Amino acid sequence: MELRKGLEDIAIKETSITFIDGELGRLYYRGYSIFDLASFSNFEEVAYLIWYGKLPTRHELDDFKSRLAEERSISDEIASLVKRTAKTANPMDVLRTSVSMMGLEDKDDGELITKSMKITAKIPTIISSIQRTRANLDVIEPDPSLSHSENFLYMLHGSKPSRERSRMLDVGLMLHIDHEMNASTMACLVVASTLSDIYSSIVAGISALKGPLHGGANSEALRQFMEIGSQENVEKYVLNRLSSGQRLMGFGHRIYKSLDPRAKIIKDYLSKVSKDEETQRLFDIATKVEEIGIRILGKRGIYPNVDFYSGLLFHFLGFDLDLFPTIFASARVIGWSAHVDEYLKDNKLIRPKAIYVGDLGKKYVPIDER
Ligand code: CMC
């Protein structure tokens, strides 16, 4: 039996959701290039595309948007859980527990995608409640007349965002909707393959996404830029970090051996938008880290990934640093549930093997004789 650490290069299902060309740095959702979707589409349309496999007509999109908007409110119990924990707990733990409570509250025999829509609609309400509660501000109720991204920023800041800002969040969310068989999607499938429920799968996905090697890397990448402080310090910092055996956060990917197209799209947006002084300084540091990082690591196929620039984008939009992984989760719920739905159409219990390397035939010694 062959041992494949980290299940590297093992396919566990066929999919028609997402294709990644890691050599060329290309990403396709349902056959559409991420570059086209980021230029011409929007969050709700891409969510529909991922779940239903086709682009919606105008009527289908309008209907879908209003169904999503109707589901944004959270129960009093979840609102009170968020209030009690927001100031002290890790936001990913608050989100994980809130989704678990949604599962307790949902008594419908609804379809998997309908339940996933409810979760997707409610997560921004939870995230903005966490940030506002911590800042001792009143929590803002969702506004169903606004798009998903406009409403997200409205609930966060208490005022309607500019078109430019809501577009930037929309693009940032679109880029995170799916990414084939990553660690968190795999975690969702493991749970789903036992024929458990979708809430349990999503809780597993959030748990896997939390770690710094996966969705936690966006906060870590920004923390890195803040720690560097100025462009002059970049070279020394990167060299020190790598020579002491630490990883450059936001660099490297199991599949991409060239620049992650999502990093390119966010960087292009950030370079064009007019930035406040602090964001400009962090952006200049980031581009310098990118340049030096590629000079050192590029020959080994280690390039910036989505998390390298997404933290900067979320920071620019006014989200607290430790909330970044929750924003990632808010979009990835769509990919997680679409993969679960696809997998269950031809389910096979996920049960790999381990190669036993311990002893056999040991003699049991009673406790008083040890
Ligand atoms: N900085 C320095 N060296 C690196 C990095 C990095 N960011 N990433 C990989 N390497 C080196 C690693 O040290 C190892 O070297 P050696 O062969 O000499 O031991 C080699 O590259 C292979 O690393 P690996 O960990 O075996 O490869 P992997 O495919 O399992 O790693 C990864 C993928 C994302 C875990 C890794 O690149 C990493 O830790 N990156 C930093 C964290 C990060 O940015 N994560 C976000 C991932 S993308 C978005 C997401 O999924 O959330």
Predicted complex ipTM: 0.97
Clarify whether residues 192 and 64 are in a common domain: yes
Cβ–ligand 1 distance for 217 under 6 Å, the answer yes
Instruction: Give the H or E element holding residue 18.
Output: strand 18-21
The closest residue, in CA terms, to atom 45 on ligand 1 is: 213
CA distance 151 to 159: 9
Cβ–ligand 1 distance for 254 under 6 Å, the answer yes
Residue 362 located in a structural domain: no
Q: Which domain holds residue 89?
A: 15-206+331-344
CA distance 317 to 168: 8
Q: For 267-290, what is each residue's pLDDT tens digit? A: 999 999 988 999 999 999 999 999
Clarify whether residues 174 and 30 are in a common domain: yes
Cβ–ligand 1 distance for 74 under 6 Å, the answer no
Q: Which atom of ligand 1 is nearest to the CA of 250?
A: 44
Cβ–ligand 1 distance for 83 under 6 Å, the answer no
Q: For 328-342, what is each residue's pLDDT tens digit? A: 999 999 999 999 999
CATH for 118: 1.10.580.10
Residue 114 located in a structural domain: yes
Cβ–ligand 1 distance for 252 under 6 Å, the answer yes
Q: Which atom of ligand 1 is nearest to the CA of 300?
A: 21
CATH for 289: 1.10.230.10
CA distance 161 to 139: 17
Determine the distance separating the centroid of ligand 1 and the alpha carbon of 35, expressed in angstroms. 25
Residue 361 located in a structural domain: no
Clarify whether residues 196 and 308 are in a common domain: no
Clarify whether residues 200 and 226 are in a common domain: no
- Centre a 10 Å sphere on the Cβ of residue 74 and count the other Cβ atoms it contains: 23
Domain count, the chain: 2
Q: What is the pLDDT of residue 278?
A: 92
Q: For 53-97, what is each residue's pLDDT tens digit? A: 999 999 999 999 999 999 999 999 999 999 999 999 999 999 999
Clarify whether residues 104 and 159 are in a common domain: yes
Q: In this structure, what token pair is assigned to residue 361? A: 């035939």
Clarify whether residues 151 and 234 are in a common domain: no
Determine the distance separating the centroid of ligand 1 and the alpha carbon of 241, expressed in angstroms. 14
Can you give the pTM of this predicted structure?
A: 0.94
Residue 7 located in a structural domain: no
CA distance 165 to 167: 5
Supply the residues annotated as catalytic: 253, 307
